Amino acid sequence: MLELFQCSKCNFSLNSQDVFCNNCGYPERGNQEQKEIYEDEIKVKKFNATQADKELDNVRILLKIIIALTLLVGMFYLFSEDTFEDGIACLVATLIYIGCLIWVNKQPLSGVLAAFLFWLTLQLSVVFTNPVYLFKGIIWKILFISIFIKGINSARKYQKISNQLKNRNAN
């Protein structure tokens, strides 16, 4: 008869013949070297997750810059009689960007994607109203796009590593 016991890392039920936990992969009945390898893998994954999160700082900084600029433009427009509605629109956009920044901190991939898609939508709407704006500030637009793309890649990496750590119950 097989004796049941629980994994010391994730409390998954194991039988007496299991060397490795079927849930998290911990070598419950393994030797010391196997346990050290497991712990080293967890440390490397945590380090990589920290690095990916640091790479997301560029997107966070970009969003803070966009928030500040949009807020300043909105305030300027609010005090001008002809552009009051544009000021309100800028303030609404500022609130959306603030929401995206909070989202990036909670769920990086979906937050970065939402911020990028919102920024891109605003850029395209301006170009559709006046095509001359396509090339105005093109260097800034290219820089912003590259930061967003790097942010998306970093967020994907962060999400992948975080999921691996969650699967190992090692957070």
What are the domain boundaries of the chain?
4-51, 56-156
In the predicted structure, residue 80 carries a pLDDT above the cut 90: no
pTM: predicted TM-score of the whole model, two decimal places? 0.75
Contact between 42 and 26 under an 8 Å Cβ cutoff? The reply is no
Rounded Cα–Cα distance for residues 162 and 155 (Å)? 10
**Model pLDDT for residues 106-136, shown as the tens digit of each residue:** 999 999 999 999 999 999 998 998 898 888 8
The answer to whether residue 1 scores a pLDDT higher than 70 is no
Distances (CA, A) of 42 to 19, 26, 77, 153: 18, 10, 52, 22
Q: State the average pLDDT over residues 34-47.
A: 88
Phi first, then psi: give them for residue 6, nearest 5 degrees: -110, 145
CA pair distance 94, 105, nearest whole angstrom: 17
Q: How many Cα atoms within 13 Å fall on the side-chain side of residue 127?
A: 12
